[in-house]
Structure 1
Amino acid sequence: MRTSIKKPLAIAGAISLGVLFSAGGVAQAQEDDWDDWAVFQADLQPLNNQQGWGEAWIEFDGDQNEATISISYEGLAEEFDGGPFPHAQHIHINGNGVCPDESADEDGDGLISTTEGHHAYGDVGTSLTTEGDTSPDSALAIDRFPGGSNADYERTIVLDDENAAQVWEENAVIVIHGVDPTLISEEAAEKESDLDPDLPMPATAPALCGSLLASQMGQMPEGAPDTGGGFIAEGNAGLMFGAAAATFVAAVLAAGYALRTRSVTGSK
């Protein structure tokens, strides 16, 4: 039984509601209340036969670009070769503001790669790293993302004008990458990443996805919902995997997915 993430809507009745944003009212709110607060929320649902789930929140509070971002998830790939399995996470923009469905699997290998899902969620707009740079240049900085099966992430950053506008216009999507290779087809598990040939496909394929929509809550819940992950990044403080991330890449490529082999052998 999985640990339940606190569902904000379950306590909505106990919270005094502030300004209510509807899909049609966000554009007007962007013009009239750009310097006021607003909260956007995404339910993170599994892609590619993964077993995880989660929530993401973005809160603007008195500044049109400064945002506190909180993400909690559980049930993703946990480890590889003794280290935490890195999970890159981004705000994707300039797509259709949605998550891809199974029809996005163009090559029929049973996996939606990051590029196959691009038409739905768009480009990497912000890299939600634990510290340092948050631009698309850090999209694959696997040593600066949370890792393991569970994580609680919180960081306040300044979004550029384009990213902030895409969030306000409800055209932004949160994507968590990194899939368990034992839960996808052997064909897909053995492929190189479509983003970086030095990485395996499971390292970069999308695992969780959710569209950011204006929340009807007056404020973001206090702190990140607890999933037991024990990880919070605030400002420029965060968790670094360092050698563990390098070990992850080398081990996946060199060992020929030892994790999958062990799983298959154990099932016989």
Structure 2
Amino acid sequence: MKRTSALLAAPALALGALALAAAPAQAHDADTTVYQTQLKALNGSSASGSVWVSVHGTEATVTENVTGLPASFNGAAYPHVQHIHIGAMGMCPDASADTNGDGVVSVTEGAPHYGKIAQTLTTSGDTSPATATDLKLAPGGATIDYKRTFTLSAETVSALKAGTASIVVHGLDPATLSPAAKAAKSDIVPSLPLAATSPALCGELSVSQMGAMPNGAPETGVTPAARTTTTDATPGILASAGGVLVAGAAAVGLNRRRAARKAQD
């Protein structure tokens, strides 16, 4: 009886190890929602990109890959302020939103579609609307590979769940604008030109059908940042647990063969 109990214990312990190894990943996945969007060009911009927002409670990890933005502004890297917008239709405007006819959909002209600023995608520090036009904290340059984890407001979480949140990336090449728009001042920061704050890209966030950020490169051709440690570790954990299970089964088979030989002897 003792030998039989020992034989049965090995696979039972292995199955227990498998269940314990898998449990943390399953719990994490169940509590995390990934929102995604393919950014669309606005105002004649030649840029494109993708954004993923992985939300766990009120904590979000935003991963953004963008290419084709204006590279420089006044001799320095072009600061592209960008935000999560909420509180309106959750839509990106088209050219018909240009009410003054200057050929540019400005921030205020686009606001009825995508709403107010809820979170600012800064490179460090504050992510509230207070840093909405802080050029020193904005990602910059023609290509942006952005990844940052920060706390969302309750209002932002609600908008994401309702499907009314959008991402807007600002900053146009002045050379592509009409003479009137090129000479105009920003409608939200008069000390800046209109090009600096007008939308270049916009995307409507919705729940990703993939359920997680992808391993491969998005359509922009820019390789996204690596997935979280929890996600990447899962296959290894399961493989280790599977190895324990196989080893347990092998031990059972070996012991049975030894018992059979002794019975024959």
TM-score relative to the length of structure 1: 0.70
Structure 1 residue 169: Cα displacement: 1.1
Unaligned runs of 5+ in 1: 1-18, 20-32, 233-268
Pairing partner for 1:160 from 153, 157, 162: 153
Structure 1 residue 81: Cα displacement: 3.2
Contact persistence 2:64–2:224 (CA under 8 A) = no
CA–CA separation in structure 2 for the residues paired with 1:216 and 1:163: 21
Deviations 1:96-149 (A, max 9, x none): 010001110000000000000000000000001000000000000111111111
CA–CA separation in structure 1 for the residues paired with 2:224 and 2:120: 21
User: Which runs of structure 2 are paired with 1:77-92 in the superposition (5 Å)?
Assistant: 77-92=70-85
Contact persistence 1:110–1:184 (CA under 8 A) = yes
Cα distance change of structure 1 residues 224 and 140 upon mapping to structure 2, 3 Å threshold: farther
Contact persistence 1:127–1:139 (CA under 8 A) = yes
Q: Which residue of 1 aligns with 2:231?
A: none
Pairing partner for 1:126 from 119, 125, 132: 119
Structure 1 residue 82: Cα displacement: 2.6
Deviations 1:180-220 (A, max 9, x none): 11111111011110001111100000000000011111211
Structure 1 residue 224: Cα displacement: 8.1
Q: Which residue of 2 aligns with 1:99?
A: 92
- The aligned amino acid for 1:172 is A
Q: Number of residue pairs matched?
A: 199
User: Which runs of structure 2 are paired with 1:26-45 in the superposition (5 Å)?
Assistant: 36-45=31-40
CA–CA separation in structure 1 for the residues paired with 2:29 and 2:180: 48
Q: Which residue of 1 aligns with 2:197?
A: 204
Pairing partner for 1:189 from 157, 160, 182: 182
Cα distance change of structure 1 residues 34 and 82 upon mapping to structure 2, 3 Å threshold: same
Q: Which residue of 1 aligns with 2:17?
A: none
Structure 1 residue 221: Cα displacement: 2.5
Cα distance change of structure 1 residues 190 and 57 upon mapping to structure 2, 3 Å threshold: same
CA–CA separation in structure 1 for the residues paired with 2:161 and 2:204: 12
CA–CA separation in structure 1 for the residues paired with 2:67 and 2:209: 24
Contact persistence 2:170–2:198 (CA under 8 A) = yes
Contact persistence 1:151–1:228 (CA under 8 A) = no
Contact persistence 1:70–1:224 (CA under 8 A) = no
Q: Which residue of 2 aligns with 1:22?
A: none
Structure 1 residue 223: Cα displacement: 9.0
Q: Which residue of 2 aligns with 1:245?
A: none
Contact persistence 1:34–1:64 (CA under 8 A) = no
- The aligned amino acid for 2:48 is W
- The aligned amino acid for 1:125 is A
Contact persistence 1:152–1:224 (CA under 8 A) = no
Deviations 1:247-267 (A, max 9, x none): xxxxxxxxxxxxxxxxxxxxx
Cα distance change of structure 1 residues 199 and 166 upon mapping to structure 2, 3 Å threshold: same
CA–CA separation in structure 2 for the residues paired with 1:34 and 1:171: 23
Contact persistence 2:216–2:223 (CA under 8 A) = no
Pairing partner for 2:214 from 217, 221, 236: 221
CA–CA separation in structure 2 for the residues paired with 1:141 and 1:193: 14
- The aligned amino acid for 1:45 is K
Contact persistence 2:80–2:171 (CA under 8 A) = yes
User: In angstroms, what is the RMSD of aligned CA positions?
Assistant: 2.5
Q: Percent identity?
A: 44
Structure 1 residue 72: Cα displacement: 0.9
Cα distance change of structure 1 residues 168 and 224 upon mapping to structure 2, 3 Å threshold: farther
SS of 1:68's partner is strand
Contact persistence 2:66–2:222 (CA under 8 A) = no
SS of 1:115's partner is helix
TM-score relative to the length of structure 2: 0.70
Give 1 or 2: higher helix fraction.
2
CA–CA separation in structure 1 for the residues paired with 2:224 and 2:134: 21
| Residue 58 in structure 1 maps to residue 79 in structure 2 | no
